[in-house]
């Protein structure tokens, strides 16, 4: 079955970037040029470019054109998305390593974050999410067992914790903080980085309508990841 034209255009652009033919900040063909090249409508060409812009692969500057973005993976600061989907939308391979999945005793900070008694049992997971086989994020997550009783029965090589929690305890609220950190030796090993590389850490709490669902610490190598967002103001 032939790919849709917009998907063909995306593959064409991604192939030129991944082969090194189009470097960072290189101008990519315009909507009109892509329309002629692929014998498609301008709307189809616009869709392909827009999806690559939203994935952080391209950057669009009004009046100048569309360019290859800085070659770091980018997530939105304004939305909560599944990291597996973000990686796949960039046309890259996603894989995951599950390092830990167990019930643990909640320390004071974790118990407070989840709204539980200190020393009560919580569920704990550690995963390393990879892009093109290289570590992109260490996800350390504590989960409220009262709201997600079957968390430890899941196979997170098949679906991410975010995907599973979105199904069983749909997100109603989230709060996060972002800061630059120096990773400890364990995180350095898991991300495959040296001691001098800075990291970006996101601390995130999520709620469902029944209460706090999870408390997560997400750590990314600074050389491979950045956060971005776009706000539109009216009036």
pLDDT at 96 over 60: yes
pLDDT at 78 over 50: no
Alpha-carbon span 44 to 39, nearest angstrom: 10
Helix ranges restricted to H, the chain: 5-18, 31-38, 42-54, 83-89, 108-114, 161-168, 185-191
Residue 181 CB partners (closer than 8 Å, separation 6+): 198, 199, 200, 201, 219
Examine the pLDDT at 231 and tell me if it is beyond 50. Answer: no
Share of the chain above pLDDT 90, in %: 54
| Out of 28-42, 51-65, 80-94, 167-181, least confident range | 51-65
CA-wise closest residue to 88 among 108, 73, 76, 77: 73
Q: Is the pLDDT of residue 74 over 70?
A: no
Average pLDDT of span 3-25 = 86
CA-based R_g, the chain, Å: 20
The pLDDT value given to residue 228: 54
Amino acid 88: pLDDT: 87
pLDDT at 12: 92
DSSP 152: G
Q: How far apart are CA 151 and CA 165, in angstroms?
A: 9
Q: Which long-range contacts (CB under 8 A, 24 or more apart) does 85-88 make?
A: 86/55, 87/129, 87/131, 87/136
* Percent with pLDDT over 70 in the chain: 90
Per DSSP bridges, beta strands 94-105 and 211-221 are: unpaired
Is the pLDDT reported for residue 230 higher than 50?
no
Q: Are 89 and 83 in contact (CB under 8 A)?
A: no
Contacts for 178-185: CB closer than 8 Å, 24+ residues apart: 178/77, 178/202, 178/227, 179/203, 180/222, 181/219, 183/219
Judge whether 106 lies within some domain.
Answer: yes
Do 50 and 130 lie in one domain? The reply is no
More confident call, 173 vs 187:
187
Q: Tens digit of pLDDT for each residue in 111-142?
A: 988 988 999 999 999 999 999 999 999 999 99
Q: Assess whether 101 and 157 both reside in one domain.
A: yes
For residue 48, pLDDT over 50 is answered with: yes
| Same domain for 198 and 161 | yes
Highest mean pLDDT among 62-71, 73-82, 165-174, 182-191: 182-191
- Tally of domains within the chain: 2
Q: What is the CATH number of the domain that holds 42?
A: 1.10.10.10
| 220 phi, psi to nearest 5 deg | -125, 145
Q: How many CA atoms lie within 13 A of 199 on its CB side?
A: 27
Same domain, 79 and 50: no
137 by DSSP, 3-state: which?
Answer: strand
Range of the domain at 22: 5-68
70 confidence band (pLDDT: 50, 70, 90): low
Instruction: Kindly report the pTM of this predicted structure.
Output: 0.68
**pLDDT > 80? residue 68:** yes
| Same structural domain, 45 and 85 | no
- 235 inside domain: no
CB 63 within 8 A of CB 69: no
Task: Say if residues 94 and 129 touch (Cβ distance below 8 Å).
Answer: yes
Q: Are residues 57 and 80 in the same domain?
A: no
Q: Which of 44-53, 64-73, 81-90, 149-158 has the lowest mean pLDDT?
A: 64-73
108 with 221, same domain: the answer is: yes
DSSP 90: T
């Amino acid at each position: 079955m032939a790919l849709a034209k917009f998907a063909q255009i995306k593959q064409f652009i991604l192939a030129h970037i991944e082969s090194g033919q189009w470097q960072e900040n290189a101008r990519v063909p315009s909507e009109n040029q892509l329309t002629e090249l692929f014998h498609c409508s301008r709307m189809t060409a616009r869709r392909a470019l827009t999806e690559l812009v939203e994935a952080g692969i391209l950057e669009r500057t009004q009046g100048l054109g569309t360019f290859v973005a800085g070659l770091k993976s980018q997530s939105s600061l304004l939305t909560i998305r599944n990291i597996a989907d973000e990686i796949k939308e960039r046309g890259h391979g996603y894989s995951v390593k599950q390092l830990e999945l167990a019930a643990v005793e909640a320390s004071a900070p974790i118990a407070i974050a989840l709204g539980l008694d200190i020393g009560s049992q919580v569920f704990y997971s550690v995963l390393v999410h990879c892009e093109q086989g290289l570590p992109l994020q260490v996800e350390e997550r504590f989960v409220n067992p009262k709201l997600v009783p079957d968390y430890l029965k899941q196979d997170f090589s098949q679906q991410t914790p975010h995907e599973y929690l979105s199904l069983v305890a749909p997100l109603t609220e989230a709060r996060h903080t972002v800061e630059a950190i120096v990773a400890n030796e364990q995180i350095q090993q898991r991300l495959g980085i040296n001691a001098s590389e800075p990291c970006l850490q996101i601390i995130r709490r999520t709620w469902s309508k029944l209460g706090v669902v999870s408390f997560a610490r997400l750590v990314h190598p600074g050389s491979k990841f950045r956060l971005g967002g776009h706000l539109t103001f009216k009036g």
